[in-house]
Structure 1
Amino acid sequence: MQPEAKDPVEDSVWEEPPSMLWGLDPMFNAFTKLYVKDILQMRESCQVSGIYFYNSHPIFKVDVLGTVVYKREREDFFCYGVDDGTGVINSLCWKDEQWRDQGDPTTSGARSFGSSARGDFNPANELKKLRQAQHSSSHLEIGELLRVRGPVKTSRQQREIMASTYYKVSDPVMAVQISWMMEVPQLYRQCYDKPFHLDSSAQNPNIQGGSASYLLGRATRILKDFLKEKEVTRFRPYDVQDLLQPLVSRQPQKTAAEQEPEAGPSSGPPTSFKQLRELLQKSLQILQDEGLVFRKVKSQDEVYHVTERDKDLLMAIRDILREDCRREKYAEKGCHILHVLSSVRQRYSRNVSKAALELVLKALECNSDIISTSDSHYTIL
C-alpha cells in the first residue's frame, strides 16, 4: 500500500518546526501507537531523513498491532505484512544471531530433553526451553497476531517498520485487541490530533521565561531538585531565594530611556527583587498545594517543613493510628484518612494539608509501618 499523494499547496503552507525543538514534544522519543494508514501518509522531514510528521508532531518510532497477511523469509530476517484494519505495512524483523549460528532450537535440543525425564532440574535444558519459547514467539504464520515496535523507514518509495522488538501475541478471546482498540482512539483525541505548539520562550531562546507559566514551572522544578538533593528537613525562603535569581536576572528589562517619560515611579516596571519575591512565593505555594512542604506555625518567621522528612509529623501519625485503631470503632477497618487529618491538625499542626498527609501515609506504608485496608482507611501493623 503506497502513501497517498499530498496536495502541493498544503505542503507549501505547512511550516516544519526547527529540528532543535523536536525533543520538546513528548511524542518524539515515544513509540507512537498510530494507525497504519497514518504511518503510510505521514510527511517526511525535509531537515532530517527518517523523521516524519503527524499533525506537526515529529515521529520516528511507532508501535503497531495487527494480523500477519503475508510473510517472506530470508537468511537474516523475516518480512511480515501487518494489517491493523486501516492498512498494511511491511515490517522487517531481524532473526536472532544465535538461531542463525546454532540452528532451530526446537529441533536441536529435542534429544537432550530426555535426560531430565527423572524430574531433575537441568539448567541447560531449562535454558533451551526458554529459547524455544522465544523462538516460537518470533516465528509467525499468516493469520497470527503480531506486535511490532521500531523506527519507520522509506525503502524503494515504500514505508516499512525496522523492528527493534516484535513478538507473536496470544489473544484467544481478543482481549488484547479490544484493549488496543479502546486505547488508541483516546491517544488520538488527547494527544495526536492536538497540534504541537511552542510557547514564546521555546521559540526564542534569547527570551528566558517568555511566559509566566514556563517561568513558574522552571522555578518549581529548581526548588524540588534542591529539596531532593540537599535532603533538608526545613528551610526559610531566603535559603532558596538565590536559586531562582538567574531566572529573574535573565528576563529582559526596560532601560530608563525606554520607559515612558510621563510614567511615575509607581507605574514603572517591577524591580528584580519584587519579581524574585513574587516568583518565590508562587513556587512555594505550589509545593504546599502538592503537599511537599508545609508551615507548622504561620508567623512572620516563615519556616517551611519538608513533609516526608518531618520526623515529628511521622511519629504523630503513627501514634494516632496506634491509639485509635485499638478502639472498637476502628479495630476492623482502620481509621479514615479524614479522621487522621483531623487528629493531626488537633495534636500537631493546623496547617497540615490533605495532600501532605497522603504523602506521609504513603511513605509509612512503603516502610511497612502501616497498611491500607481500603483506598482511604489505614491501620497500624
Structure 2
Amino acid sequence: MEPKEEMPFMLWGLDPIFSAFARLYIRDILQMTESTQVPGIYFYNSHPIYKVDILGIVVYKRERDDFFCYGVDDSTGVINCLCWKNDTLKEASIPGDSRQTAGAQGGFDPVAEMRKLQRAQQSRCRVEIGELLRVRGPVKTSRQQREREISASVFYKVDDPVMAVQIAWMMEVPELYRQCYDKPLQLQSNNTSSASVSSISKATNIIRDFLNQKSVAKFRPYDVQDLLQPLVLSQPTSTSEDQEPVAGPSGCQQLRQLLKQALKTLQDEGFVFRKVKSEDEVYSVTVHDKELVIAVKDVIREDSKREKYAEKGVHVLHILSAVRHRYSLNLTKEALELVLKSLECNSDIISCSDSHYTMLV
C-alpha cells in the first residue's frame, strides 16, 4: 500500500477491526503491508491490523527457558508463533510444606490441587507436532531473521477429536472475509451525508425489526410507512413577515423518499424482493416466504441426486437460475444467499464449499 493510500493514523480507531483480533489466513498475515506511519501496524485491504487470531497444526517446535516457539500451519501458510511461558510453567514444582501435605490426608489438600492445576496447564501449553494450536496476539517482525511472527498473548492446545472446531472455523472465517475484511472501510466526508446515511440506516433497521418481530411474509409500502414518521422533520408551515418562504420538500414527500431509500437498501441486502413487478407494489420478506424456501429446498434436493452434483454439491448460480425459472424471475442472488444461510443454520442443507450446497443426509 502506497503511503498516500494509507488512512491517517488518527482515524484507525474508527475501524472496528483495528481493536479486534482479526481471524485472517496465515497467507494474508505474511503478505500484509506494514504501515509507513507507525511500525508494527499492518494493512489488509485498507484495514489497520496489529493483532490476529489463528488456528492451525503445529509443524515444528522449539523450547527455550522463557518461551516456546511453534510453527503453525493453517493450510495457507506457516507462521512462527512465539509463546512466552508464565511463572507456573517455568517452575519445576510448586513450593509447599511437606508437613502440611502429610497432615491434609483424608481432607482437602490445597498443594495437591495446585499441582493438578499446574499439570493441566502444562499439558495445554506444551503442544507436540501434529496437534492443533490456537494463538492470539500481535504481529511482529523478528529482529534476527526479519520474518513475520506472532507474539502470543494467549495460546493453548485444542482438543478436536471429531474436527468440530476446525469445521466451525473453516465456515466462520470465509464469512468474516466476505462481511468485514474484503470490504474497505468507508468514512463519510461531511456531516450532511452522515446525517442522511444515518436516517436511512435507522429507517432500514426499523422496518427490518418490525418485519422480523411480526413474521411478515408480504407487505406493501404503505403498511410500514407510518413506522418512519418519527424520523421525518416536517418543514415549517408558516414564516414571519420579515422572512421569505423557505422552499423544500414537505414532510409527506420526505417520508415517501425515506421509505423508498430504505426499501431499496433492504432489496440490495436481499432481505426483501418483489416476486412480480407491477403497479401494485408487493414486497416479499425473503426468509419468511415459505414458498420460496420450499422452492430452494426442492431444487437442491432434486439436483443433489444428479451425478453431476453428487460429489461437489449444487452451485449457488445454478440454484439461482433454477429457482428463478420455477418461482420468480426477480429473485436476487443476495436474497437467495439469505435463504441458503437460513436453511444451513436449520441443518436442512450443508455447504460443501463457499458456493456449493447439498442436502443434509
- Change in Cα spacing, 1:323 to 1:259, as seen in structure 2 (3 Å) is farther
Is the aligned partner of 1:380 residue 2:359?
yes
2:117 aligns to what?
127
Is the aligned partner of 1:315 residue 2:288?
no
- Aligned 8 A contact 1:219 1:279 in 2: yes
1:190-241 alpha-carbon deviations (Å, 9 max, x no partner): 77xx9x878436xxxxxxx874323222222222332343333332222221
Q: Secondary structure at the match of 2:308?
A: helix
Q: Secondary structure at the match of 1:176?
A: strand
2:231 aligns to what?
247
Amino acid at match of 1:346: H
1:11 aligns to what?
none
1:338 to 317, 333, 352: 317
1:57 aligns to what?
none
Cα offset, 1:352, TM superposition: 0.9
Q: Secondary structure at the match of 1:371?
A: strand
Cα offset, 1:25, TM superposition: 4.2
- Aligned 8 A contact 1:105 1:132 in 2: no
Counterpart-to-counterpart distance in 2, 1:349 and 1:297: 7
- Change in Cα spacing, 1:326 to 1:30, as seen in structure 2 (3 Å) is closer
Counterpart-to-counterpart distance in 2, 1:359 and 1:325: 20
Is the aligned partner of 1:291 residue 2:291?
no
Amino acid at match of 1:223: I
Is the aligned partner of 1:355 residue 2:334?
yes
- Aligned 8 A contact 1:109 1:128 in 2: no
Is the aligned partner of 1:176 residue 2:146?
no
Q: Secondary structure at the match of 2:305?
A: coil
Is the aligned partner of 1:200 residue 2:179?
no
TM-score (norm 2): 0.51
- Change in Cα spacing, 1:378 to 1:28, as seen in structure 2 (3 Å) is closer
1:107 aligns to what?
93
Cα offset, 1:248, TM superposition: 0.9
Q: Secondary structure at the match of 2:230?
A: helix
Counterpart-to-counterpart distance in 2, 1:310 and 1:289: 17
Amino acid at match of 1:333: K
2:3 aligns to what?
none
2:343 aligns to what?
364
1:141-199 alpha-carbon deviations (Å, 9 max, x no partner): xxxxx968xxxxxxxxxxxxxxxxxxxx9xx99553499xxxxxxx9xx77xx9x8784
Counting aligned pairs with the same residue, the percent is 44
Is the aligned partner of 1:273 residue 2:255?
no
Counterpart-to-counterpart distance in 1, 2:356 and 2:17: 41
Cα offset, 1:124, TM superposition: 6.8
Counterpart-to-counterpart distance in 2, 1:368 and 1:239: 33
1:224 aligns to what?
208
Counterpart-to-counterpart distance in 1, 2:93 and 2:230: 66
Cα offset, 1:273, TM superposition: 0.9
- Aligned 8 A contact 2:274 2:283 in 1: yes
- Change in Cα spacing, 1:126 to 1:231, as seen in structure 2 (3 Å) is farther
- Change in Cα spacing, 1:28 to 1:295, as seen in structure 2 (3 Å) is closer
2:219 to 218, 221, 235: 235
Structure 1 unaligned residues grouped into runs of 5+: 1-16, 40-61, 66-94, 113-121, 137-145, 149-168, 180-186, 202-208
* Aligned-pair Cα RMSD in Å: 5.1
Counterpart-to-counterpart distance in 1, 2:287 and 2:352: 22
Matched residue pairs, number?
A: 243
- Aligned 8 A contact 1:105 1:128 in 2: no
Q: Secondary structure at the match of 2:225?
A: helix
Amino acid at match of 1:128: Q
Structure 2 unaligned residues grouped into runs of 5+: 1-9, 23-33, 40-48, 53-85, 102-111, 127-135, 153-180
Cα offset, 1:313, TM superposition: 1.0
1:329 to 308, 319, 337: 308
Amino acid at match of 2:224: V
- Change in Cα spacing, 1:129 to 1:229, as seen in structure 2 (3 Å) is farther
Larger Rg computed on CA atoms: 1
Is the aligned partner of 1:212 residue 2:196?
yes
- Change in Cα spacing, 1:332 to 1:131, as seen in structure 2 (3 Å) is closer
TM-score (norm 1): 0.49
Amino acid at match of 1:244: L
- Change in Cα spacing, 1:362 to 1:134, as seen in structure 2 (3 Å) is closer
**Where do residues 76-91 of structure 1 align in structure 2 (5 Å cutoff)?**
none
- Aligned 8 A contact 1:307 1:359 in 2: yes
- Change in Cα spacing, 1:30 to 1:302, as seen in structure 2 (3 Å) is same
Q: Secondary structure at the match of 1:359?
A: helix
- Aligned 8 A contact 1:105 1:131 in 2: no
- Aligned 8 A contact 2:344 2:351 in 1: yes
- Aligned 8 A contact 2:137 2:150 in 1: no
- Change in Cα spacing, 1:232 to 1:173, as seen in structure 2 (3 Å) is farther
- Change in Cα spacing, 1:123 to 1:238, as seen in structure 2 (3 Å) is farther
Counterpart-to-counterpart distance in 1, 2:225 and 2:333: 27
